Amino acid sequence: MVGNWLKTSILMAGIVVLFGTVGAALGGAGGMMIALLLAAAMNVYAYWFSDKAVLKMYNAREVDASSAPEFYNMVKELAQNAQLPMPKVYIIDEAQPNAFATGRDPEHAAVAATTGIMRILSQRELRGVMAHELAHVKHRDTLISTISATVAGAISSIAQFGMLFSHGRDRGVHPAVAILIMIMAPIAAMLIQMAISRAREFEADRAGAEISRDPTALAAALKKIHSYAHQIPMETAEQHPETAQMMIINPLSTDGIKGLFSTHPNTEERISRLMAMAS
């Protein structure tokens, strides 16, 4: 837990430095001051509201024991196994099978699953997936994961942000500088995504298998999801690739720059480790 708080603090500090540097380069002292204020406001927003923003982005709808009894009660049982407060439960109307967890701490957590994953998995396999997501909540991975998704998306607009300072100045931003920023922005976003260690997925697999007490179910689920996810596109994830690292399996096509946002470990290795646990 301490490690994730440290990563979160470094991430937020890095954003302030990055925005301040770009603001100074494009707008001088005034640009740097405005950039620092924007960075501070972004950090506050990301900490308190990034989870709600991601859920809204995916048009997630909250369900309860009345509207989705089997799914809700499954999560409730697993949360009790994990000794966690009951998270909010959401369903996303997407054909691609996938799931994620979000929230700044276990007391403000939410888990979400697509209709696609609920359709192709057995109850036992779905149970393994939701246990994996609750493991992320238990380890407090969700804070840095959700913040990094929000921040990476904001970094993608740094070039437009820089152009703000080019208007009204005696001399505009040099075209070469603008082009450099446009090139570096997605790279910076990629680096932020890669700061989220792939090791956390392995750890969530391990802990999720312990919560569900069924490592082979999660292994079988990962195999199915991996197969289907690469055949069925998820439009929202393609439009917001910075959110891909929140999912249990990478939802993106691996073509072009979108492949840079992949922070998931090899699925076969994940399955192999789970099967080793079972044996």
Contact status, residue 31 vs residue 166, Cβ threshold 8 Å: no
Order of strands across the sheet with 61-63? 61-63, 88-92, 110-114, 99-102
Segment (H or E) for 89: strand 88-92
Separation between Cα atoms, residue 160 and residue 163, nearest integer Å: 5
Tokens 């707008």 belong to 27
In Å, what is the CA distance from 104 to each residue of 28, 38, 176, 189?
A: 35, 21, 39, 21
Q: In the structure encoding, which two tokens stand for residue 149, read together?
A: 């998704």
Distance from the first to the final alpha carbon of the chain: 29
* Beta bridge pairs of residue 88: 110
Q: Give SS3 for 68.
A: coil
> Catalytic residue numbers?
133
Q: List Cβ<8 Å contacts ≥24 apart for 253-258.
A: 257/186
- Token output for 164: 């703000």
